[in-house]
Each structure stands twice: as structure tokens, then as C-alpha cells.
Structure 1
Amino acid sequence: MAAPITVRDDNGSTLTLKTPAQRVIALAPSLAELVFEVGGGERLIGAVEYSDYPPQASKLPRIGSNQKLDLERVVKLKPDLILVWYHGNAHREIERLAALKIPMFHLEPKNISDIPGAMERIGRLLDTRTIADAAILRFRDQHARLLREYGGRAPVRTFYQVYERPLLTINDHQLISDVIRLCGGVNVFGKEPMLVPQLSTESVVAANPEVILTANMGGGGGTAQRAMDEPRLAEWLKFGNMAAVKSQQLWLIPGDLISRHGPRILDGAEAVCTALDDARKRR
């Protein structure tokens, strides 16, 4: 008889399964991607809206959104493991879910190097460790290549716009900021105390970023796109003396790649690195 599986999650809780999970629900698109990446796609029985990669994920039964779950549907699906995005899912919904006594495992990669650990732990919970190990190796090889290629390049002052109204960004403890660092960028609001600070237009102008990035929420393929005519960035065109505007360094980054804390984050990094490299060339 196989030994029980015991794994610690990002909430600091320890989960023990008597046998590998066979019926898994993922409460974030990135978590569904991670399950597929480690060879557990056939074990997924439910996911939240916007879970669309790989294409098979689009066919999974929907159990609501990250903010509102259909608990009746969850119960009917009879999961033996629920993967939770620690800070991405509404806490009131997670509390309701916990009352059902279904095993839950919280994940929240905060930097690029946390993602292999998430893959390794999911692989253990599903007993797909051979496939997980291969996925981890691919990820680390790509990460190492990007570090070699961009690690020594000149710093670029970078502003990442999460949303325009209210004007939101991210600090240095968010995964996207780690992507910016990987590419040789410096997050101009990285030292802010809040994970997702709200800003004034004046504070961005004063920071004088060389590059302004935002996510293309329509996906946007796999490459960075110069976005001088993007409506969500139009406010910055009023400030012609700001470095990013003067050198035409307003960019859209594929949203599915940069906003999901999963295995494709390094593809998002490739797009960010391309944008920052363009800024270096125009100095």
C-alpha cells in the first residue's frame, strides 16, 4: 500500500492525502495550466471562468469565477482536491468552501523561482512526478537562458500599469515585478508598501519611467506590441517630456502570459524583455 502524501502549501498549512488526487478543481486559470503542465490534465474535473489554456481547459465544467463560486456545482462534481489561488480568490468564498471539508491546497507563486516549487508539489499530490520533473527542468532552462541574456544589461526605469481608473500598479513583491527585474528593468514604484498601490497621475509623471507596460487583456498573441494608440494608455500622451512618451515606449504585453502565475510567465518575460531592450536602443 502506498504511503500517504504530505505537502505544505503557501498558506503554511500541511495537507495529507491517503492516495494521489484523482478529481481536481482549479480555482484560477494559472492553476489549471499548472495541472496540465505536470501531466494531470485528465484529473481536472472543474475550473473557473477564463481557464482556456491549454485548449482542453476550455472544455472543463465551470464552477464560477475567482470571486463567486457555485458551491452546489462543486459538491456535485465530487472533487478530492481543490487548488486555491491564495490571494486571488475571494476569502469569503474560500471560507464557504472550507466548510465543505474538501481537501484544499493554497498556491501563490510570488516570484519566478516559486513556480517550479508549485509544479513539484502539484506533481506530488497527483503522483505525476516524472512529468512534473521534466516540466520543471524546461522551465528552469528557459529561466536560466533569459538570465544569461538579459541579466547584465543596463537598467531601464519601468512603470507597469495594472489599471487606468483607478490608476493601479504593482510593487516589488508581485510576480510581474520579478519579470521586470529578470529583463533588467527597475520598477519605479517597487518600494511602495502595498502589493497593488493606487497612484496619482502626477506621481507617475514625476517618476519619469522610460517604459510603460500594460497587459493586453485580449491575449495579444505572444509578443510585445508598441501601443502609442492604446486607449488605456492615452493619458500619458499628454506628457510629451516624459521619457517613455518621448521615445515611444508604451507597450502592450500579452495578458494571458504576464498576468497568470503559471508556466507561461517566462513567455511573458520574453515579451517584456523585448520592450525593455527597445528602450535601451533608443537612448
Structure 2
Amino acid sequence: MKKAWLLALLLALGGAQAAVEIHDDRGALVTLPQPPRRIVSLLPSLTETVCALGACERLVGVDNYSNWPAAVQPLPHVGGLEDASIERIVALQPDLVLLSTSSRALGRLEGLGVRVAALEPRTLADVRRVMGKVGQLLGSGEAARVMAGIEAGVDAAARELPPALRGTTVYFEVNSAPYAASEVSFIGELLARVGAANVVPGRLGPFPKLNPEFVVRADPQVIMVSDRHAQAMRDRPGWAGIRALRDGRVCMFTAQQGDVLVRPGPRMAEAAQLMVHCLRGELKGRPR
């Protein structure tokens, strides 16, 4: 009887220690009785973070844009930011849904009693914070190690940029509207870390929609753009005279490279490496 009581006490204490609790990016308290075993992620950067922390096998569903690592590709894909399928998510019986603060699914899932954590990395500091919070939720002690690896990788990439190229002016286009990455976006912060100078000031917001004339006046030495958006530049008035286009210093990233660059998460060191390769002239193209 005494042994049974002691075992019950130890189990109770073990359960108490396994409980996890964080405040998400809304300031909402997220409490779980134990680390989740069935997770749905509705943001690619959060999907990649879960996997980087060694918990890929806990994912039972992801958004339509989560495609890395390869292990997530066969999983059920349940929609995106605006059109996540509540029915499909609920049917997966998740212990936790990870999503952005702007996800339309957030309120509906909470209304159905599904536990959610809204986490949205937008800056390098956010990536560190979100990595730590996801690590807490998972009961993982890997967050500090993973972040240290990211930071070391970014620093290593920066050391590969020759001093003569430091201060190169860059325009980074994220969408052909055109929307650009400014100095205060995580992309802008990475550009600064590797030694480039962003022509889009932070006062315009992280990802401002620009008048194309703004870029003509800024006259960047290098343009970074996804190859899916690059062709739109050829028809913009005055752009043929921009130094980057005139000198053929336009880096047109593949769709896979573009995913690396625009996701604030575990692959930021790889993103920094791509930026440095571009600045060194190893990734060039010319819109036709």
C-alpha cells in the first residue's frame, strides 16, 4: 500500500513537472498539461522551428506553404493564412495549433476549444523569442543551441563579404506590387548583419508598398528579387537606368531560395549566405 501511494505521488509530481505554460504574442496565457504530441502548424517559419527543435514527428498537419524539411511534405495541408480549413484541423485532433497572430482561424479554433499559440516572428529578436517559446511548449532544451548555430552561421556569412563590398546599396523586393523589405524587417536586419546598406528606410514600415519612382531615385547598386517577380521590373518607367539593372547586378532567386530568404526561422544563416553570394556577384541575372 505504501509503495502504491509513493508511485502515485511520483506520477503526480512527474505530471506537474511536465505541464507547460507560455504567454503568446497576443499576451494570452497558453497552458498545456504536458508537451503536445499532436501539433498543427499554420505558418512555415513555425513548422521549420518545430522541426529544428527535433519535434518534426509531432506534426500531424501543416499549412499549404510549409514545404521544408522534406518530412513535412506528405502531411495533410490544411490551407493558409486566410483559408485554413477548420474542419480538417479539428479532425486531426491536435493538442496544439501554432499560428500567426493575424490568422483568421485563431478565434474559431479557440471557440471550439482547440488550444492555440499565436507566435509571429518578424525581426531577428522575434526569432530568438519564438524559438524559446516553441522550445518551452515542446519541452525541448534545444532552443539555445539552435539559436547559437543560427547566429554563428550569420556571422560566418558576414565574414565572407570582402571589405570593398561592405556598404553596397541594396533593394530587396518581396512582391511585384512592388513591396520591399525595409531596414526594420528581419530581411533588412540580415542585410545589415552581412554588411549591405538597405535603400528602403525603416520609417516606411517593415514591408512597405513603394512607388516605383522611389527605387529609381534610390538607384541601388544591387537588386535582390525572386525570379517569379523579376520580370515585372522590365516595364517600370525609368528602371532601365537603375545602376543594378544597367550593370546586371540583379540576383534572381529561385522559388526554393526565395522561401529561405523570406522565412524568419531556422534557415536564416542560409539566407545570409545567399545574400553574400549575391553581393559577391555569384548569383546574377537580368530580367528579360
Taking structure 2 as the reference length, the TM-score comes to 0.82
For residue 174 of structure 1, what is the aligned residue in structure 2? 185
Shift of 1:137: 3.0
Task: Tell me whether 1:111 sits opposite 2:123 in the alignment.
Answer: yes
Deviates more, 1:73-82 or 1:145-154: 145-154
Task: Tell me whether 1:263 sits opposite 2:266 in the alignment.
Answer: yes
Distance in 2, matches of 1:149 and 1:11, equals 39
Shift of 1:38: 0.2
Out of 121, 127, 130, the position equivalent to 2:133 is 121
Distance in 2, matches of 1:180 and 1:193, equals 17
Shift of 1:258: 0.5
For residue 44 of structure 2, what is the aligned residue in structure 1? 29
* Paired letter, 2:75: L
* Paired letter, 1:136: M
For residue 39 of structure 1, what is the aligned residue in structure 2? 54
- Give the aligned length: 263
* Residue identity (%): 27
Is the CA contact (8 Å cut-off) linking 1:237 and 1:245 kept in structure 2? no
Is the CA contact (8 Å cut-off) linking 1:188 and 1:207 kept in structure 2? yes
Larger Rg: 2
* Paired letter, 1:276: L
Deviates more, 1:41-50 or 1:117-126: 117-126
Distance in 1, matches of 2:162 and 2:189, equals 12
For residue 273 of structure 1, what is the aligned residue in structure 2? 276
Shift of 1:45: 0.8
Out of 43, 46, 67, the position equivalent to 1:52 is 67
Distance in 1, matches of 2:159 and 2:58, equals 37
Shift of 1:256: 1.3
Shift of 1:134: 3.4
Is the CA contact (8 Å cut-off) linking 1:47 and 1:61 kept in structure 2? yes
Name whichever structure is richer in helix by fraction: 2
Distance in 1, matches of 2:59 and 2:110, equals 19
Cα RMSD, aligned residues only: 2.4
Distance in 2, matches of 1:78 and 1:272, equals 40
Is the CA contact (8 Å cut-off) linking 2:98 and 2:116 kept in structure 1? yes
* Paired letter, 1:94: L
Distance in 2, matches of 1:49 and 1:192, equals 32
Distance in 2, matches of 1:118 and 1:135, equals 12
Q: Name the CA shift for 1:135/1:191 in 2 (closer, same or farther; >3 Å).
A: closer
Task: Tell me whether 1:136 sits opposite 2:147 in the alignment.
Answer: yes
Tell me the secondary structure at the aligned position of residue 59 of structure 1: coil
Any unmatched runs of 5+ in structure 1? 218-226
Deviations 1:142-195 (A, max 9, x none): 13323444596621211111222x222132232111121122222212234333
For residue 7 of structure 2, what is the aligned residue in structure 1? none
Deviates more, 1:131-140 or 1:49-58: 131-140
Tell me the secondary structure at the aligned position of residue 278 of structure 1: coil
Taking structure 1 as the reference length, the TM-score comes to 0.83
Is the CA contact (8 Å cut-off) linking 1:80 and 1:102 kept in structure 2? yes
Distance in 1, matches of 2:183 and 2:233, equals 22
Deviates more, 1:155-164 or 1:53-62: 155-164
Q: Name the CA shift for 1:12/1:190 in 2 (closer, same or farther; >3 Å).
A: farther
For residue 235 of structure 1, what is the aligned residue in structure 2? 235
Shift of 1:201: 2.0
Q: Name the CA shift for 1:151/1:74 in 2 (closer, same or farther; >3 Å).
A: farther
Is the CA contact (8 Å cut-off) linking 2:151 and 2:269 kept in structure 1? no
Distance in 2, matches of 1:63 and 1:21, equals 19
